[in-house]
Amino acid sequence: MAVDDNDEAVIAALRASHSNIVSILRASARMDKGLAAVDARLSLGLDSLDAVTEAVAPLQSQAMATKALHARINRAVPLALSLLRSFALVESLQRRLLRLSSRTSSLPRLLDFVDCVDCLRETIAAVTAGF
């Protein structure tokens, strides 16, 4: 049985196709190994990322709580300073009243005493109204 030229061309084409397919399969196997290595590295990275996320989550909630507390303190400080100033004024008026009460023999001093008592009452009312 003689093989004609057409059959030889088909066989040559089939051998070339076979060679190309073998080459593609080898490249595919190499790429599969490379992808497996990349997958392993990514898996390690993702595991590390999960561990870091778990470690950071409490810190984030603490940071948020700290920020909220800081805001509350910043809102409370001006009110507290105002209250302290009012207490200082009340204390000053009390000292003045004590000085005037020991010398209430004359009418002008008595009027000063009454004015100071009125001012003290207004200050105490302002302090208690703010809180």
Nearest to 122 by CA among 88, 79, 86: 86
Look up tokens 């057409």; give the residue. 6
At residue 96, the pLDDT reads 77
Residue-averaged pLDDT of the chain: 82
Q: How far apart are CA 70 and CA 49, in angstroms?
A: 30
pLDDT confidence bin for 130, thresholds 50/70/90? low
CB atoms within 10 A of CB 127: 16
Q: How far apart are CA 77 and CA 80, in angstroms?
A: 5
Residues 119/91, Cβ–Cβ less than 8 Å: no
pTM of the model: 0.42
At residue 131, the pLDDT reads 57
Q: How far apart are CA 69 and CA 28, in angstroms?
A: 59
Nearest to 97 by CA among 81, 118, 77: 118
At residue 116, the pLDDT reads 76
| pLDDT over threshold 80, residue 61 | yes
% of the chain residues with pLDDT over 70: 89
pLDDT confidence bin for 7, thresholds 50/70/90? confident
